[in-house]
A and B are shown apart, each in its own frame.
Chain A
């Protein structure tokens, strides 16, 4: 039975935070890295280190390349398990190309219809290609884009694809995070009075809690909005009403929408050639100019490819605003006439675009990008200090009563903090060491990531024994040194294998690679500082007897002592 509202909030904050904090750590850290996912891609795939450029000519370059796209093999296997045998060639439904001001390479997408599924007339599979837009060369498919294809999906799916389990776990964590923020505000009695309070020279428990409160409160708007917008983006997965309960209504809505736009909802089944898409792009740009918002093409879709009902939708890249893309102009495929120019979005659609856009951030604003990294890392600090406070608060009591709870939490915290950084760095090092044309290269890189993380866990479990005596786990210090070693190795290996050392990349102002190398070096510096600091603390702790008095400061905003492990 909880005694008061604040105490029940404390219980909620402590235990939900502890259990889902590990997931949130992944979401925040790899989310922060995803702000620069395209740049990490450049670092990991050196043959793509060139300048981004606008969408290339459809007529001259993209049209023949789209025809080369084939469905993904694993999607075909899954489709066969749904419908039995498939037609030898599947009809193309639509082609699309998406680019931003940060993409030197261009990703092309295609959807292919599965025509023989009686349960789902819209059943389809996907295919994709990446090209060099300077000359139309198709780039190798098997080189993992570590930023946008591994770190980025990791932060929302945990790469647990089975039944989309990862999405659900992250969603639960995001929901719990919002509850943790609210309960944290309730627990914290002096939000404004202690807004700027950080006392690193006081004892560990105090300074850790200060840092937890500081990073939680000053970035509260960021934390809340990112949890909320993250949930909004995947609302379609979490509440798939338009696929289940309201499927007929959703279909009817899509048809009505197509009708108001004057575009065909379904192909007619009659073949027809496509007019010049380049001319349509010129017209779309002219219309954006006329609306006082000149821009480049961000998203280009050819719907009902090759059909008399085909239409082309051209969206403006949202480089200068929060929404990803917008101001779509739809063209009739065979004639090239404008059929519909989309008006500004309605209020609800506008809010949705804003929330999605602010989270996915494809805009061109380097300061805001770095602020996002700051917000993400503040979130990591908040969660990590939450773990540390949990351990600090209990480790003496657990040591005297022989309970191992604090040790387990500390070992898992090591794994979730330095272990996670080690896993990411190992992946980068392996990326630079493996030969470029190795078969299954991506699997080796992913394997290195998970293996390093498991090793970090084992190391943390082994080297956290002193927590049982209420001391600092040496695992923290040792993993910090491993971070230093791997981060510096990654920078050196980048130099050795590509010749792009820092002076060269800085010299030609190639920031994607220079910036990432610099970030690695800064990380190494911070880890070295932390390791030295930890060594000093460990020595001090050894010099002092165990019965160190616990001075609970009177002005604390600490959680009431009623909650104990």
Chain B
């Protein structure tokens, strides 16, 4: 594969992972979980899973950035990917929260309000 195409692929994956990571971290919060799923809050194990997956996704995103660019440039791309992802997640939660459910279909139903 030519270098340019490989770089573009790596960076696309890095941005996609940053988005996934920020979605998962956002959904550890009850208010956002409620916007996305009908139930009140994620189960305790789901919260742990979300936190773990979120952190791992962000870390993997950093590794891909480092693979794609010079080490001085990669952190800039990574930090700003996270910024962009955070804005995207906030807007998605505001206008199209149910779309984010796609990223947590694998999690069981949460606790109901009591």
Contacts and interface: CB of A to CB of B under 8 A. Distances in A.
Interface of A: 193, 195-201, 214-215, 218-219, 221-222, 320-323, 354, 357-358, 363, 365, 367-368, 371-372, 374-375, 378
Interface in B2-48: 11, 15, 22, 26, 29, 31-32
B73 interface: yes
B84 A321 contact: no
B87 A214 contact: yes
A11 B29 CA distance: 31
Nearest to A374: B84
6 contacts: A196-B26, A198-B93, A218-B83, A368-B73, A368-B76, A374-B84
Contacts, number: 78
Contacts of B32: 196
B86 A196 contact: yes
Contacts of B84: 371, 374
B38 to A, nearest CB: 19
B89 interface: yes
- The B contact surface, by secondary structure, is helix
Given A196-B26, A219-B83, A365 B93 contact: no
Contacts of B82: 218
B95 interface: yes
A323 B70 CA distance: 11
Interface centre among B70, B83, B87 (most CB of A within 10 A): B83
Contacts of A323: 72
Interface centre among B32, B86, B91 (most CB of A within 10 A): B86
Given A218-B83, A367-B11, A371-B76, 5 more contacts: A195-B90, A198-B94, A368-B76, A371-B77, A371-B81
A365 B77 contact: yes
Contacts of A371: 76-77, 80-81, 83-84
B95 A368 contact: no
Contact of A198 (B69, B77, B80, B90): B90
B56 to A, nearest CB: 19
A195 B77 contact: no
B72 A321 contact: yes
Contacts of A222: 79-80, 83
B77 A322 contact: no
A353 to B, nearest CB: 9
Contacts of B29: 193, 196
Contacts of A354: 72
Contact of A365 (B73, B81, B87, B91): B73
Nearest to A358: B76
Contacts of B69: 320, 365
Given A322-B72, A354-B72, A368-B76, A195 B86 contact: yes
A322 B77 CA distance: 11
A215 B94 CA distance: 14
3 smallest beta-carbon distances between A and B, as pairs: A371-B80, A218-B86, A322-B72
Given A214-B87, A374-B84, A221 B79 contact: yes
Contacts of A193: 29
B87 A378 contact: yes
A198 to B, nearest CB: 5
Contact of A363 (B11, B73, B79, B81): B73
Interface centre among A201, A320, A357, A367 (most CB of B within 10 A): A367
A193 B31 CA distance: 9
A321 B80 contact: no
Nearest to B86: A218
A375 B90 contact: no
A375 B70 contact: no
Contacts of A198: 90-91, 93-94
B90 A196 contact: yes
Contacts of B11: 367
A196 B93 contact: yes
A323 B76 CA distance: 13
B87 A218 contact: yes
Contacts of A196: 22, 26, 29, 32, 86, 89-90, 93
Nearest to B82: A218
Contact of B87 (A201, A215, A321): A215
A321 B89 CA distance: 30
A322 B76 contact: yes
A354 B29 CA distance: 37
Interface centre among B11, B76, B79, B95 (most CB of A within 10 A): B76
A340 B91 CA distance: 54
Interface in B52-100: 69-70, 72-73, 76-77, 79-84, 86-87, 89-91, 93-95
Contact of B77 (A368, A374, A375): A368
A368 B15 CA distance: 11
A363 B70 CA distance: 11
A222 B77 CA distance: 11
A372 B82 CA distance: 13
Contacts of A378: 83, 87
Contacts of B72: 321-323, 354, 357
Contacts of B80: 222, 368, 371-372, 374-375
Interface centre among B22, B73, B93, B95 (most CB of A within 10 A): B73
